């Protein structure tokens, strides 16, 4: 005779339970004392054993479903025996994403190490999905981006843009201003005010989402075990079933004589905290960080020289964008020396630094400046994390993850600049943080680099998403190109004189948008249209058939799409 399997009551306050996992399938033999299924409650996960021998005839409450205590959830009997199905248990679907983490206290707990754009976003998203979240941050919320990176740099660049606009185009557009001056201390005060407001906002969001914050540094002492060190030196240990590492990156040091411990050799952090505008600056590195700061200080009146070891600047951008940007920066007075390797830095008694370089032809070159900005890249900030003790696989400190942001240690995730193989961008970290949190909380979320834009806030600003023409050619893709010059766009003409362009790379057979590249006013805002087009596998026909408002820079996106088909209205279709 078949025997009912009941949802057990495992405590005075328990009224219902969630079936976590069936250890046996319908039709399989069961022995008394074998684990038959697991039950999850708000606090516990328990194994439930079979009371009798037999065959699991019927499961009435599937994994992930909820039943009241003492209700029938299955039947055990003899092979071929029928059971009464007329009275199924009172079952309701659990909340899906929350179910997988509503286990015991440890499994419901998510630790996030790092409060930057990857960490705080991951913490908030996990809290939204029902997790109890602890955020560990040793310095300041918002990380490099908010405090010593993206936001303060853009504050400088915004002031630089206003200053340059008045000085170079003010009279032309009818806004003549005599003796326009830069108030550098006030500029820095404004920068600090903006960063502080955003940091306070993040703290409020964490509090609103009931995220616990601990001010401490963290290091592994064993897999999933972190030792926390407070500012006063006190130590404690914390562990959880799920950990998200979001420790970001730090500036790479220049390994040449004279650079170390030289107060006039600064990194991006130093460039954002100068007390006055230097008369001259050598920028070592032709990437995003170096050139953004080069543009800012050139606008402030600094004589800027850029030294780059390779034969090109801004390698992440399409070459047509780089050409426009380089030409404009040269008009600003910025000098470029490519294929030029730094050998050493010498200081003289007047406080001037001499940067000694070697050209590609082997000749020695020397550049003098008050300040030397070293911007040769960033590396994962994992040295103090003790990844080896945590068992975390890495490549010279860069954590290895899959597209779910999982490391090799089950339950441990990593996001942002500290992982290997992805763009080191704030929005990359935030997207990864959401992916990690969602996977921890039972969803199937994956990070896709395909729609990740690159934004460069040089003058004029540039943005890129998807394939460049160089990559499409290298991969042998049969593609076509549409270009629209911004000198033919009314809004661009009044904003910056029409400097810049929009470029679209499309598959020749189907017209699918493969890449979009913009340099000019509003480029970093407009690039979202390109990212969405790629995400939706849109074609140039679909961009063309979408009406774009006038007068806007966005009209140029449609015109570039039309130029792919040689039907642009406001430019020649060569």
CA nearest neighbour of 520 among 552, 549, 553, 548? 553
d(Cα 574, Cα 572) in Å, to the nearest integer?
Answer: 6
pLDDT for position 44? 54
Query: What is the sign of the dihedral through the CA atoms of 324, 325, 329 and 335?
Result: negative
Please give the Cα distance from 429 to 110 (Å, whole number). 18
Second-level CATH architecture of 265-376: 3-Layer(bba) Sandwich (3.50)
**What residues contact 178, with CB distance under 8 A and at least 6 apart?**
none
Q: Per the residue annotation, which of 361, 510, 550, 570 is the catalytic one?
A: 550
**pLDDT tens, N- to C-terminus, the chain (574 residues):** 788 899 888 765 567 888 878 999 988 999 998 999 988 764 456 788 988 999 998 999 988 788 888 889 988 988 888 776 544 444 444 343 333 433 434 457 999 999 999 999 999 999 999 999 999 999 889 988 988 889 999 999 999 999 999 988 888 889 988 888 899 999 999 999 999 899 889 999 999 999 999 999 999 999 999 999 998 899 999 999 999 999 999 999 999 999 999 999 999 999 999 999 999 999 999 999 999 999 999 999 999 999 999 999 999 999 999 999 999 999 999 999 999 999 999 998 888 999 999 999 999 999 999 999 999 999 999 999 999 999 999 999 999 999 999 999 999 999 999 999 999 999 999 999 999 999 999 999 999 999 999 999 999 999 999 999 999 999 999 999 999 999 999 999 999 999 999 999 999 999 999 999 999 999 999 999 999 999 999 999 999 999 999 999 999 999 999 999 999 999 999 7
List, as one string, the DSSP characters of 51-62: SS-EEEEEESS-
Residue 98: the pLDDT is 39
256 contacts: CB under 8 Å, gap ≥ 6:
342, 343, 344, 345
The fold of 109-171+180-250+379-450 is FAD/NAD(P)-binding domain (3.50.50)
Q: Domain map of the chain by residue range?
A: 3-94, 109-171+180-250+379-450, 265-376, 460-564
User: Rounded distance, CA 450 to CA 547, Å?
Assistant: 25
Q: Which fold has domain 3-94?
A: OB fold (Dihydrolipoamide Acetyltransferase, E2P) (2.40.50)
Q: Per CATH, which fold does 460-564 belong to?
A: Enolase-like; domain 1 (3.30.390)
Quote the CA–CA distance of 158 and 172 in Å, as a whole number: 20
pLDDT at residue 87 in the model: 43
CB 10 within 8 A of CB 19: no
Nearest partner of 424 among 400, 399, 454, 446, judged by Cα: 454
What span, in angstroms and rounded, lies between the C-alpha atoms of 313 and 359?
16
Same fold, 109-171+180-250+379-450 and 265-376: yes
Does 550 participate in catalysis according to the annotation?
yes
The whole-model pTM stands at 0.79
- The radius of gyration computed from the CA coordinates of the chain, to the nearest angstrom, equals 30
| Cα–Cα distances in angstroms (integers) from residue 408 to residues 298, 334, 335, 353, 467, in the given order | 46, 46, 46, 46, 30
What pLDDT, on the 0 to 100 scale, is given for residue 41? 62
Contact between 138 and 230 under an 8 Å Cβ cutoff? The reply is no
The residues, any chain, with a CB within 8 Å of residue 427's CB and separated by 6 or more, are 117, 452, 453
Strand, helix or coil for residue 508: coil
């Amino acid at each position: 005779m078949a025997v009912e399997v009941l949802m057990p009551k495992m405590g005075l306050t328990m009224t219902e339970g969630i079936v976590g996992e069936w250890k046996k399938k319908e039709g399989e033999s069961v022995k008394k004392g074998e684990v038959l299924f697991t039950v999850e409650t708000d606090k516990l996960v328990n194994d439930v054993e079979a009371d009798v021998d037999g065959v699991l005839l019927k499961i009435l409450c599937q994994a992930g479903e909820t039943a009241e205590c003492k209700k029938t959830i299955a039947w055990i009997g003899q092979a071929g025996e029928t059971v009464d199905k007329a009275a199924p248990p009172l079952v309701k679907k659990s909340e899906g994403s929350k179910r997988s983490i509503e286990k015991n206290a440890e499994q419901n707990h998510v630790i996030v190490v790092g409060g930057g754009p990857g960490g705080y976003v991951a913490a908030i998203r996990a809290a939204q999905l029902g997790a109890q979240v602890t955020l560990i941050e040793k310095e300041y919320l918002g990380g490099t981006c908010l405090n010593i990176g993206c936001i303060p740099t853009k504050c400088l660049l915004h002031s630089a843009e206003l200053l340059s606009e008045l000085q170079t185009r003010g009279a032309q557009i009818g806004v003549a201003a005599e003796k326009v001056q830069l108030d550098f201390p006030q500029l820095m005060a404004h920068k600090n005010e903006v960063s502080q407001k955003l940091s306070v906002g993040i703290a409020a969001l964490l509090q609103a989402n009931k995220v616990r914050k601990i001010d401490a540094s963290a290091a592994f002492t064993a897999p999933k075990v972190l030792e926390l060190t407070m500012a006063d030196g006190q130590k404690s240990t914390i562990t959880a079933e799920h950990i998200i590492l979001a420790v970001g990156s730090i500036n790479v040091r220049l390994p040449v004589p004279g650079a170390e411990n030289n107060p006039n050799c600064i990194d991006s952090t130093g460039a954002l905290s100068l007390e006055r505008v230097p008369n001259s600056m050598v920028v070592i590195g032709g990437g995003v960080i170096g050139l953004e700061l080069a543009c800012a200080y050139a606008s402030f009146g600094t004589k800027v020289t850029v030294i780059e070891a390779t034969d090109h600047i801004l390698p992440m951008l399409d070459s047509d964008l780089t050409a426009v940007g380089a030409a404009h920066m040269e008009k600003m007075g910025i000098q470029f020396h490519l294929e030029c390797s730094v050998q050493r830095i010498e200081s003289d008694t007047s406080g001037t630094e001499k940067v000694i370089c070697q050209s590609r032809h082997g000749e020695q070159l020397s550049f003098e400046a008050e300040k030397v900005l070293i911007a040769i890249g960033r590396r994962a900030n994992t040295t103090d994390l003790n990844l080896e003790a945590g068992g975390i696989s890495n490549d010279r400190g860069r954590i290895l993850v899959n597209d779910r942001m999982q490391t090799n240690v089950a339950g441990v995730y990593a996001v942002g600049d500290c992982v290997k193989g992805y763009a080191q961008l704030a929005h990359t970290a935030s997207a990864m943080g959401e992916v990690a949190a969602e996977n921890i909380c039972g969803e199937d979320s994956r990070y896709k680099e395909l729609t990740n834009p690159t934004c460069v806030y040089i003058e004029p600003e540039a943005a890129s998403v998807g394939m460049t023409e160089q990559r499409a050619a290298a991969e042998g893709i049969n593609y076509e190109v549409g270009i629209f010059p911004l000198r033919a766009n009314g809004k661009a003409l009044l904003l910056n004189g029409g400097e810049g362009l929009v470029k679209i790379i499309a598959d020749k057979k189907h017209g699918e948008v493969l890449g979009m590249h913009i340099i000019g006013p509003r480029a970093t805002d407009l690039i979202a249209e390109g990212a969405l087009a790629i995400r939706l596998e849109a074609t140039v026909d679909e961009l063309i058939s979408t009406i774009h408002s006038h007068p806007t820079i966005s009209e140029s996106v449609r015109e570039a799409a039309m130029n792919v088909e040689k039907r642009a209205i406001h430019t020649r279709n060569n």
